[in-house]
Structure 1
Amino acid sequence: MRLSAPVHHLKRQARLLSRGENVPLHTALDRVAGEEGFASWSLLAAKVAEAAPGDRLLARLIPGDMVLVAARPGQGKTLMSLELAVAAMKQGDRAVFFTLEYMHADILGRFRDIGADPADFDHLFTFDNSDAISAAYIIEALRSAPRGTLAVIDYLQLLDQKRENPDLMVQIRALRSFARERGLVLVFISQVDRSYDPARKPFPDIGDIRLPNPLDLSLFDKACFLNKGEIQFQAT
């Protein structure tokens, strides 16, 4: 299924349409769905849920995995990572979201964008937006986390911004060793280089990851690349 834009963008289009033309939101949603080839928004939503990319990706992961979720801005990489977190929590595992970008209210809103009620997972989900986030900080925060915990780091390149932190390569090696030792899954949201041209290839790949400083990308086990509502899984 190929949509013209990620689902959260389509919802935003519907909200703008609803306000701009003073029509009920459900009518606007159905009109947007019609432009995507569906008779109603409920049918579009059912088809998207059937695809369940978070569940599909989680099924490919094992404790100790280091995972990249990468895309150009606006392609849904944060939502994909949250879908992974929800899939893990549905299995009874804990999920942690480390971010240097978002506030807690932003992430709660993103949960609702993917049809998840944050209240359902309140006892399993931890949000952390400390300014001190680094490999050492993450390791300390997860030291007592149970095996199978899935942690999202938003995002890879920000670990490299503070001069007082070790080089990114050193940090990722430390996190890889820790994830293996503790049986955790670490998911890194990642930027894609501006040189990536979707007109030349439909998805970015491992060679398109933006790296301001050297990093051995073989330290990651799996990668998920997004573009225009479509997802491609790759081994690294």
Structure 2
Amino acid sequence: MKLSAPIFQLKRRAKLMARHNGVPLHDALDQIAREEGFARWSLLSSQIAAAALSETILSRLDDGDLLLVAGRPGHGKTKLGLQLLLDAARDERRAVFFTLEFTEQQARKHIRSLEKAPSGIGDTLEIVTSNEISAEYIIRHLSGSERGTVAVIDYLQVLDQQRSKPALSEQVLALGAFARKTGVILGFISQIDRSFDPESKRLPDLRDVRLPNLVDLGLFSKACFLHNGEAQLQDVA
């Protein structure tokens, strides 16, 4: 069965219904599910669980999440991060791409290549390319954003590349506190160490994240690992 709208929009509709009607969120979710032909939300969710992660990732994130998106070069981590931002923009959320790797022109070219049809949605994404990008800079730029705003940072391992910037562990700690306080969702594109061996396991995991400087990966609430066209989203215990 084809849903009447993307899953993240259905979830947003349920949240608005719960708020306006003064009902528990789970009741509103079940009502939306019935309108889509399912007895309850859990049955609808199980159907979309097997869908391509790029089509459903926004619906699987909660306000205030700190998301790690990790993979070897060329395996789709940047594409997934930008797709998340496009979906956020379609959901009428603020969407911001902080990049220390791309120029604005390169980033917008990449974004346009992901749009299935010319819609202008990609043009609403904010692209920030300042060399000053750091936790303090990001927090200042996102100050006053509404809950559910989505920002993607490209990429984790270069946030403290300049010696004048705080240690990576301090920056992630500060960004995590900011996300929890404001409800902003922060995604970090991350490198995987060259020692990852796809012959021994299909997908990398937290142990394979390249960390030239120490950082507690337990500060992240969710992590997505990609390799050879596969992607898996998991909670970080």
Does TM, normalized by the shorter one, top 0.5?
A: yes
CA shift, 1:88, in A, is: 1.2
Could you list the runs of 5+ residues in structure 2 that have no partner in the other structure? Answer: 1-49
Letter in 2 for 1:120: I
State TM-score, norm by structure 1.
Answer: 0.75
Aligned equivalent of 1:47: none
CA shift, 1:134, in A, is: 0.5
CA shift, 1:168, in A, is: 0.8
Aligned equivalent of 1:127: 127
Question: d(CA) in 2 for partners of 1:230 and 1:112?
Answer: 23
CA contact (8 A) 1:77 1:226 kept: yes
Aligned equivalent of 1:152: 152
Aligned equivalent of 1:72: 72
Q: Could you say what the CA RMSD is over the residues aligned between the two structures, in angstroms?
A: 1.5
Equivalent residues in 2 for 1:45-194, closer than 5 Å: 51-116=51-116, 117=118, 119-123=120-124, 125-194=125-194
Question: d(CA) in 2 for partners of 1:160 and 1:120?
Answer: 32
Question: d(CA) in 2 for partners of 1:147 and 1:202?
Answer: 35
Aligned equivalent of 2:219: 219
Distance 1:62 1:234, change over 3 A: same
Moved more, 101-110 or 186-195: 101-110
Question: d(CA) in 2 for partners of 1:185 and 1:55?
Answer: 17
Moved over 4 A (4+): none
CA shift, 1:109, in A, is: 1.7
Question: d(CA) in 2 for partners of 1:221 and 1:81?
Answer: 16
CA shift, 1:212, in A, is: 0.8
Letter in 1 for 2:143: R
Could you list the runs of 5+ residues in structure 1 that have no partner in the other structure? Answer: 1-49
Question: d(CA) in 1 for partners of 2:155 and 2:211?
Answer: 12
CA contact (8 A) 2:86 2:121 kept: no
Letter in 1 for 2:212: P
Q: CA-to-partner distance for each residue in 1:119-165, whole Å, 9 max, x for gaps? A: 22434x11000000000000000012221110000000001211111
Letter in 1 for 2:153: I
State TM-score, norm by structure 2.
Answer: 0.75
Q: How many residue pairs align between the two structures?
A: 186
Question: d(CA) in 1 for partners of 2:119 and 2:133?
Answer: 23
CA contact (8 A) 2:71 2:226 kept: yes
Aligned equivalent of 1:202: 202
Letter in 2 for 1:100: L
CA shift, 1:60, in A, is: 1.2
